[in-house]
Structure 1
C-alpha cells in the first residue's frame, strides 16, 4: 500500500519515459507529494488520491501540460486559472502550464486548489451533472426518430453520456442543413449503439 507523500514505483516510468514536459512533470510531482496525497497510476497517468478518492491527475499535451481536478467544477477558483477543456466537460477542470516557470510561480495557488479539492471529497460533494433530458433534441433528429422507430429505440438505449455528446454536437450547428448532414452521418453509429467518438 502506497503511503502519503511517497513516490510510487509504478508511476516512475511515466516520468522517466515522458518525451516532453519532463522538468514540469517532476516539479508537479514534488508539489503533489508535499500534500497529503497518495500517488497512484490510473488511466496511464499519475493520479493523486486521498482516502482512495481521485483528487488530481497530471497529464501532458502537445501545447501544454496540466493538472486535472476530476471535480474541478466545485472549486471556487479565486485566481481564475481553471479551464474547462470543452463545453461538454461537466465536472473536470484543468490548470495548464506551458513552462516550468509557470509552475514555480504558482506553487502556493496549486496547493490551495489541491487542499480545497481534498475538502470537497471529504465532504462527499458531487458535481450536479446535467441530465440528457436537459438537452433539447434538435427537431431534425426528432423528425428522423419519428420516421424511424429503430433509430428512436437505438438512441434511447445509448448511455446518457453518449446521448449528451450527440445532442450537443448536432445542436451546435447553426444551420438546419448542417444539423441534417451531421445527423445523417451518425445514424449508422447510433443504430450500432456507438458513441460520437467510437
Structure 2
C-alpha cells in the first residue's frame, strides 16, 4: 500500500484512510495536499479533510456546522474556538457506512455550491499608543499607513509593538519610515510578485 501524505502520525490508520479515499473518489471532489495532509476540494474550495490520530481516524467538514447531521455523527472538536469545522470520528473500518459518508459529503458539496460558509472575522488593527503618536507627528506617514491593507498594517504594528525596550521601538520606527513613505510593506521583499 502506497504511503499517502496525511495527518496520520503513527501509521495506525493506513487501511482505514484508504477505505475513506475509495469512497471519496465517487464524488465530485478533487484530492489535494494542504498543511501536510489530505484535503478534498470542490471548485478550489476546501470541503473535507481526512486523517488519523492516536485514538481515531476522521473526516472533517470545513463548513460542517451547516450540515443537518441527521445521524448525530458530527462533533465540534474545539468547542468555543472552532466555528464551522465539524469532525466525524471512527474507531474502526467497520464503522464506515459508505452510503452515509456519501450523503454527508454530497450535502457538504451542495452547501458550498449554495455559498454556505463561515467567513473569517476581520479584526481591526489597533496600533499602540507609541506607534500612533509617532504616526500622528507626520500626517503623510499616517496617511500612507492607512493606505496599506489591514494585513500589512498588522505586520508594521506587530514589528513595533513587540519590541520590549523604548529605544528598540524608536529604532524600528525609524527603519520603517522610509518603507511607509515608499508604500513598501514590511515583508514585501519576501513575497512573490
Pair in the same fold by TM > 0.5: yes
Structure of higher CA gyration radius: 2
User: Which structure carries more helix by proportion?
Assistant: 1
Q: 1:12-34 CA deviation, whole Å, 9 max, x = no partner?
A: 53269961101110101101111
Which 5+ residue runs of structure 2 have no aligned equivalent? 131-150, 152-160, 164-193
Which 5+ residue runs of structure 1 have no aligned equivalent? 1-10, 134-147, 151-158, 160-190, 194-198
Q: 1:132-190 CA deviation, whole Å, 9 max, x = no partner?
A: 79xxxxxxxxxxxxxx978xxxxxxxx9xxxxxxxxxxxxxxxxxxxxxxxxxxxxxxx
Aligned residues, how many? 138
Q: Check conservation: 1:74, 1:127, Cα contact below 8 A.
A: no
For 1:149-188, list aligned pairs within 5 A.
none
Give the alignment's TM-score, normalised by structure 1: 0.57
Backbone CA RMSD of aligned residues:
3.6
For 1:11-90, list aligned pairs within 5 A.
13-14=4-5, 19-86=11-78, 87-90=80-83
Give the alignment's TM-score, normalised by structure 2: 0.59
Displacement after TM superposition at 1:192 (Å): 3.7
Pick from 100, 103, 106 the counterpart of residue 109 of structure 1.
100
Distance in 2, Cα, partners of 1:89 & 1:101:
28
Distance in 2, Cα, partners of 1:38 & 1:12:
18
Pick from 75, 78, 91 the counterpart of residue 84 of structure 2.
91
- Name the CA shift for 1:26/1:132 in 2 (closer, same or farther; >3 Å): same
SS across alignment from 1:39: strand
Which aligned runs of 4 or more in structure 1 are off by greater than 6 angstroms? 15-18, 128-133
Distance in 2, Cα, partners of 1:114 & 1:192:
44
Distance in 2, Cα, partners of 1:79 & 1:131:
34
Displacement after TM superposition at 1:126 (Å): 2.1
